[in-house]
Structure 1
Amino acid sequence: MNGAQFMKEIANQKMIDNIEYLEQETKQKINREIDHFISEVVNEVTKNESNVKQLTNIFNNNYEITDKVKVLNGRLPEKVFVCRNSLLSDLYTIKHIRTIYHIFIALFVGQCIHNAVEDYLSSGQILIGTDKIFNGLAKFDVAATLWITMFLLTLANYVFFVCWSNIRINIFPNTLKLKMWDCVWIGSLICYYISFFYYFTNAVFNNKFPPPTAIIVLIESVRLTMKSYAFIRSNVPRVLNYKSHSEKENPCPSFSKFLYFLFAPTLIYKDNYPRTRTIRWKAVFFYAIEFTSIILFISFFMNRYFLSVFQDYGKGPIPWKEVALHTLGNLPAGGAFMLCGFYILLHVWLNGFAEILTFGDRMFYKDWWNSTSYGPYYRKWNVVVHDWLYTYIYKDMYENVLPKNRFVPKLFVFFVSALVHEYILSVAFGFFFPILFLEFFVIGVTLVFLTFGGTFHGNIFLWFTIPFGACLAINMYCIEYFVRQNCPIENATATDFFIPRLLTCKQL
């Protein structure tokens, strides 16, 4: 065989290899496209079936959502994600419910006109509450810097977790070195969480943010902490059960999955979530309009029904009879504040982010307004936070700490929830005034045991006590806040943070 023939055979063989490679790549690409198409079709069918079933149950007054499934005997059900709309999004497809929504829009427009006329007649300017919003969001640039800092620290959690994981899987099992490495990691994680809260709590105190800005910073610090804990708690078992000699895939999820989770409108970590096919930018724009409008509405009635009423408290004796009458008379305002808070956070904000991130499961709340006792209300009001408390506190305590004991884990969940809510308000306002803690932990736990047999009396009781509790809390925090503003003391000590100024101000 001469050289020319040899080179020709090599070229032919190379061509055959290239053709086989292209054939294999084409087959794999076609298979991937088919799998992706089938997955999209299945998700779409599942979503449509879920929506049809959901709407059918609504019309039949038999509305109940199953969002947890039992996986093992002796284990509590686990959270599952499926493509579905928020309940209000489905209800808005009903003409009668849509009309009620239009009534609220008309009331909002009327309030805007009233405020505009009042502003113009009193000051010659039309502010419609924007001055209160800008005052409440003062130093927002500093708050944004703090958010970037806490976000970068949260990203560092992923780096340290991967470092711990990669080193651990290369250490021989059941050795002292492995136990020491785990202890170092656990100790470092605890120190991180303590330092995280200490730093950002001090940052809020030192920068003297107005309460709304401070609340935003503190809520974000709590949210990112819950996110990082959920990620670590969900992936530690993978690392502990990883067998290097039989498993090739690294137990650590990719950074992109962690990053998506940080912004996804859920506090439960999963490697993959059901996704929608496209982003409806028109819906995102509509959510932005709703968000801005509700902020204006909150500014309106907070100023009219609370701030303007209590702003002079602390300059003289407090008329407690007026406070009592104001609390009872402002039940509609307390209910409006509660409804606005629910709608802007759990419907508008979360649905907006879900739309941008194509997050398929929009069940951020259930039909809490139909509850006839406080037990179902607590489970349905805020599904996002409830899922985190259930999965990472209640479920872990029930299965691993106190097996078969439901009362203590439930009590601890209430305690943690009340403590975090009180922490946010205490740091934001600059004083400890545990009204919310008492409402959540003492009164809230007590009301769980008060049932009305599923009758309408329980629903009426719920709709009276929720606005009353909201109005009472707002009144008391406003009174203490303005008393501290109007009755300052010199050389304040740490104990002044915990002692209500209502009891110590000499002007009262």
Structure 2
Amino acid sequence: MSTHDTSNTTVRRTRGRTESQRPAENGSIRQHDNHTNMSHATLRNEDMERMKAELIRHVQSRLNELLEQALSDSMQSLCRNTHTHPDHTHTDDRHKPDQGKVFVARCSLLDELFEISHIRTIYHMFIAALLLFIISTLAVDYIDQGRLVLDFDLFYYAFGQLGTVVWAWTLMLAYALLGPYYVLSVWASLNHSRGWRTCVSAAAALTLCAAQTSMLGIFPVYIVLHYQLPPASRFIIILEQIRFVMKSYSFIRETTPAVLKNTPQKGEPLRYPSLSSYLYFLFCPTLIYREVYPRNPYIRWNYVGMNFLKILASLFYLYFILVRLCIPVFTNKSNQPFSTRTFILALFHAAFPGMLMLMLGFYAFLHCWLNAFAEMLRFADRMFYRDWWNSTSFANYYRTWNIVVHDWLYYYGYRDFLWLTGHKLRSVATLSVFAVSALVHEYAFTLGFGFFYPVMFCTFAGIGVVFNFAMNDKRKSPVWNIIMWTCLFIGQGVHVCLYCVEWYAQIQCPRTGTSFWELVTPRSWICSYQ
């Protein structure tokens, strides 16, 4: 065999082996591609899982930041409350007359909590309940009358004679703005003359008392009784009367010590608050006067509009609660004699709507109304309430439910009383604050409803005082929070039940005389139903 043949044979053998190995190599390549695709899919899944875990961590960190911020604000409020609590031991510095409330720029607690989706869901549940009220009312009207009826006669009746309310309120505002301001300004300008100081002070005090009694005492009561205003219009006049009295008193109380301390040198003008600062105070959501408050840089008009829209929705919510849960029940009860059985059944019927009314009043006024005016006036201190719903004692509930009124009662009632008595008689000071609060609440309800039935006074001055001392700040267990909520449900049920029963008793058995005992005796106690 030649060399050429040998080389050809070798080439054919090599080619044969190569061709026989090629399928195996192709299979290996396909396996490699499949393995690569699987690796890429695995990497994509891992990337997705990694992105998912990173997103979850980001959401959790954001949620933790919001919770920590809410808890931090609560702890700061608690610390401030600890420093201003009546039972604090260091009272020598706290009760000096020249110390008072310090305003700080901060948001309302609910605005912060609504940033958390879990809390916002509870808010959505209340909206769903309102929609359910609307649908059920429309369905009942359609079944009974065969057509859809949206009858708001209750609104038209309750807010009747709004023209009278507007001009009476305008006169009250004009006096509250100009009366105390100019009387005090004249007194301040004449106060530093040595020979006439006592006479000027006495004349200014008598003039101011007479003007306050006439325009903020007698005039609103005359308007309510003379024009026989309906309930909602009555409450507007009476509550504005109380607000103007508290505002003007705060202005007098804060300005008088400043004038007495101010001794200008010859040729220097007397330093006196500007009228614009007092006008701002009459509308800003606080009852403690200051010449300057912390202000926000701009106004969020969409926030203002949303708050007024929520107030309107709350009014409709109240309307449907009355129409669906209260009026049908107590209309039927009005035909039954007043007895223990009737009262207990009506009480439990009224507990749930009563609690809804309490929460609506809190949300519509203390959150929406005050925040709307604070935003329009760029008022930065939005702490109108604290986390009263977490209270384990009624003492803490009373302090955190309404910070605006609590501050006024604390600084001008409790603290001034202790200062006058040398920091003694703490229990008497507390009782005096409860008595004033009870009298004012009863006054508002008596003139608002048009009859005297001292349910509010008894619950504030009686049960409220007992609960304040019995369920004090030493109660820390969550069980006491359950007890507090149970007592609130029962208390609101008592209010709604007794006032509704008396309202229908006044209709069924109107008064026949004007003697004192007939005016103060509840008609539901003596009315004989036919």
Shorter-chain TM-score bucket reads 0.7 to 0.9
One-letter identity of the residue aligned with 1:487: C
Q: CA deviation at 1:364?
A: 0.2
Q: Deviations over 1:379-434 (max 9, x none)?
A: 00000000000111111111124523321111111000000000000111122111
Structure 1: runs of 5+ lacking an equivalent: 1-51
8 Å contact from structure 1 (residues 313, 483) kept in 2: no
Q: Distance in 2 between matches of 1:367 and 1:338?
A: 15
Counterpart residue number, 1:486 = 508
Match of 2:168 in 1: 146
Partner residue, 2:37:
none
Match of 2:300 in 1: 280
Change (3 A) 1:404 1:489: closer
- 1:217 Cα deviation (Å)? 0.9
Percent identity between the aligned chains?
A: 34
Aligned to 1:422: 442
Q: Distance in 2 between matches of 1:364 and 1:53?
A: 23
Which residue is equivalent to 1:88?
Answer: 110
Amino acid at match of 2:93: G
Partner Cα distance (2:190, 2:149) in 1: 59
Structure 1 residue 320, shift from structure 2 partner: 4.1
Mapped to 2, the partners of 1:191 and 1:292 lie a distance apart of: 38
d(CA) in 2 for partners of 1:472, 1:72: 38
1:247/1:407 CA distance change after superposition, 3 Å: farther
Equivalenced residue count is: 453
In structure 2, distance between residues paired with 1:229 and 1:247: 31
Question: Structure 1 residue 159 and structure 2 residue 182: aligned?
Answer: yes
The equivalent position to 2:381 in structure 1, one of 336, 355, 361, is 361
CA–CA distance in 2 between the matches of 1:424 and 1:402? 33
Shift of 1:61: 10
How much has 1:494 moved relative to structure 2? 3.9
Looking at structure 1, the residues matched to 211 and 317 of structure 2 have their Cα atoms a distance apart, in angstroms, of 39
**3-state DSSP class of the match of 2:338?**
coil
In structure 2, the CA distance between the partners of 1:364 and 1:132, relative to structure 1 (3 Å rule), is same
Inter-CA distance 64–318: structure 2 relative to 1 (3 Å threshold): same
Task: Note if contact 2:418-2:425 (Cα within 8 Å) is conserved in structure 1.
Answer: yes
User: Which residue in 2 is equivalent to 1:371?
Assistant: 391
Change (3 A) 1:472 1:247: farther
Check whether the contact 2:350–2:497 (CA below 8 A) recurs between aligned residues.
no
Amino acid paired to 2:498: M
Query: Is 1:181–2:203 an aligned residue pair?
Result: no
Letter in 2 for 1:157: P
After superposition, give the CA deviation of every residue in 1:294-349 in whole Å (9 maximum; x if it has no partner). Answer: 10001111222222322355555235413312312432222111111111110010
1:131 to 144, 150, 153: 153
Quick check: 326-335 or 409-418, which moved more?
A: 326-335
The within-5 A match list for 1:408-447 is 408-447=428-467
The Cα shift of 1:247 comes to: 8.8
Q: Please say if 1:168 is aligned against 2:187.
A: no
| Structure 1 letter corresponding to 2:70 | I
Larger radius of gyration: 2
With normalisation by structure 2, the TM-score equals 0.80
Question: Which residue pairs with 1:348 in the alignment?
Answer: 368
Contact in 2 for aligned 1:57/1:63 (Cα 8 Å): no
Pairing partner for 1:495 from 509, 517, 526: 517
From 464, 473, 485, the equivalent of 1:463 is 485
For the residues of structure 2 that align with 1:488 and 1:230, how far apart are their CA atoms? 41
Q: Does 1:292 align with 2:312?
A: yes
- Is the 2:330–2:346 Cα contact (8 Å) retained in structure 1? no
Instruction: Return structure 1 stretches of 4+ with deviation > 6 angstroms.
Output: 68-72
RMSD: 2.4
Gaps of 5+ in 2: 1-63, 85-89
Aligned mates of 2:337, 2:361 — CA distance in 1: 32
Instruction: Tell me, yes or no, if structure 1 residue 403 matches structure 2 residue 403.
Output: no
Letter in 1 for 2:482: I
Q: Secondary structure at the match of 2:343?
A: helix
1:192 Cα deviation after fit: 2.7
**Deviation of 1:164 (Å):** 1.6
What is the 5 A alignment of 1:3-402?
Answer: 55-56=67-68, 58-59=70-71, 63-65=75-77, 66-67=79-80, 73-76=92-95, 78-123=100-145, 126=148, 128=150, 130-155=152-177, 156-169=179-192, 171-172=193-194, 175=195, 177-195=196-214, 196-245=216-265, 248=268, 250-311=270-331, 315=335, 317-318=337-338, 320-402=340-422
1:384 and 1:62 mapped to 2: Cα distance?
Answer: 17
Distance in 1, Cα, partners of 2:121 & 2:428: 45
Contact 1:129–1:300 at 8 Å: present in 2 too? no
Normalising by structure 1, report the TM-score: 0.84
> Which residue of the partner structure matches residue 31 of structure 1?
none
